[in-house]
Amino acid sequence: MHLTRSHRPLALALLAGSALVSPVQARTAPRTAPKEALEARMARLEAEVTELRSQLAEARGAQAQAMATAEAAQSSAITAQTAAANAEAKAATAGTQLAALEKKPAPDGIRNGETTLKIGGYLKLIAASTHYSNGSVADNTLGRDFYLPQTIPTTPGGRGFTTEDFTAKQTRLWLNLDTQVAGHVVKGYLETDFQTTASAAPNVTAGGSQRTTNGYTLALRRAFVTVDRFTIGQDWTTFQYVAALPESTDYVGGTEGTVFVRQPLVRYSHPLSKALALHLAVENPESALVTAGATAMLESGTDHIPDFAARLAYTGRIGELSLAGLLRQVRAESTGSALVNNVTTAGAVGNGVTATGFGGSIAGKLFLNEARTGDVRFMATYGQNIGRYVGLNFAPDAVYDPAGDRLTDVRTFAGMVAVRVPLTTQVRINLMGSYQRVHYDQTLAPAAIAGLNRQAWSAAANLFYSPVRQIDLGIEYRHGERELVSGANGNLDRVEFAAKYSF
């Protein structure tokens, strides 16, 4: 039997009791009691005391062991708690490192020496059904592939035609290059598609037959290099605000109201602040002229002065704004009564005829939500002798008047507006309207310019669905009208489906 701390008083009481009882018994016992009995009683008492002392020692040892065990358990608990805290801290650190690693963008592009190359673009299919009110458009021409208002037939009394066209010509490929050279940032960009090289001949060798291979020629879109603030090569004209182009199944969108030119240039870009930048450029000159009494467009090829363009671009929290200006000389060679295309006619030496061209364009984008997935886009342009810059040369730069051996001015106004409305994260609609009107010199006889374009307008609506980030499926309806100076007109109605995979 083991004694605990609570049993100690009882043991002491027993010892004391035994000590008291023994003398009493000794006094009351007969004096004749044998000496042996007394000794036996004393022996038993000593044995009991020894046993009690042994039990007390055992109890004290058990208590010490229990206390040691408790202390050890407490120490182990503290150690385990510390280990758990350390493990938790390590797990948090590992999680932070993993999150940082996942957040860090993966290496992009292919490394070739000191240059990083990136390849991208998209594959795009167009399927369109078009009804023309007054005639038809020749097969395998640009007006069949995308909306080009100057190709809308205006044959008086012409019957309507409906066409079906499927094409993948708008498929686009681009190559981006980035190199660090002696502390300077050198970048290159090359972009191509199959759309802009016309293949009108309906035979296999011309590469444009829809009867067999549907093979088309790869065409240069843009090719330029940027060194610090300079851009040198072929790019969108500085006079154009590209971000205003609406989202459309069409190649351009609101063609007649849009500044749209890609050409060789040298451009300097200077940031005036974090939100404001100034772009100045000298660009390729090319004069597109028409002779009074005719409609065929002539590229003179005898320009002496480059076109000068400037654009002030602002980017803010609620939108973007672009103000652009253009100054140019329109020039051609004439024999005194007819234009010549940088050659002499019958031994005669041509003399230069010129006209001054200038224009201004305001364009921008107003965001409709914080995510910038919805916006209003707009562009308004006015100018004199800038026809080739607007609406894919809907109007000529100038009209040559043989009677006065001079170039007469052509003034153009164009406008476009588009609204992009997100319905969900994957579905959106776009609404757009576009317009252009041309004014010719009043000294020209109406009959001399009767076959030239007076105005055009179009309106379109589409629905886009992106089941995944890189896939866009869209369907669009468009109505467009064209009118000549003579009053002859025509219209088209087009339903178009597009499927695009971007990479």
List the one residue out of 234, 244, 324 whose CA is nearest residue 280.
Answer: 324
Strand 288-291 and strand 276-283: the pairing is: unpaired
List own/partner pairs for 38-46 with CB under 8 A and 24 or more apart.
45/18
E strands, 97-171, are 110-112, 115-132, 161-167
Which H or E run includes 65? helix 35-103
Instruction: Please report the pLDDT score of residue 163 as a whole number.
Output: 95
Contacts of residue 3, defined as CB under 8 A and 6 or more positions apart, other chains included, come to: 11, 52, 55, 56, 58, 59
Amino acid at 83: A
* Sign for the pseudo-dihedral over CA of 67, 68, 69, 75: positive
Amino acid at 241: Y
Contacts of residue 267, defined as CB under 8 A and 6 or more positions apart, other chains included, come to: 230, 231, 232, 235, 238, 279, 280, 281
Global pTM reads: 0.76
Fold classification of 110-502 is Porin (2.40.160)
Is 331:284 a contact under the CB 8 Å cutoff? Answer: no
Contacts of residue 286, defined as CB under 8 A and 6 or more positions apart, other chains included, come to: 263, 299, 300, 301, 303, 388
Q: Report domain extents, the chain.
A: 5-101, 110-502
Instruction: Please report the pLDDT score of residue 14 as a whole number.
Output: 45
What's the rounded Cα separation, in Å, for the pair 288 and 138?
Answer: 23
Amino acid at 15: L
Q: Give the DSSP letter of residue 310.
A: E
List the one residue out of 380, 425, 389 whose CA is nearest residue 410.
Answer: 389
**pLDDT tens for the 503 residues of the chain, in order:** 444 444 454 444 444 444 444 444 444 444 445 677 777 778 888 887 787 778 877 877 777 787 777 677 677 767 767 776 777 777 677 666 666 655 655 557 888 888 899 999 999 999 999 999 999 999 888 899 999 999 999 998 888 999 999 999 999 999 999 998 888 889 999 999 999 875 545 444 455 578 888 888 899 999 999 999 999 999 999 999 999 999 999 999 999 999 999 999 999 999 999 999 999 999 999 999 999 999 999 998 889 999 999 999 999 999 999 999 999 999 999 988 888 875 544 555 568 999 999 999 999 999 999 999 999 999 999 999 999 999 999 999 999 999 999 999 999 999 999 999 999 999 999 999 999 999 999 999 999 999 999 999 999 999 999 999 999 999 999 999 999 999 999 999 999 999 999 99
Instruction: Please report the pLDDT score of residue 402 as a whole number.
Output: 94
The first and second tokens of residue 429, run together, are 């609609």
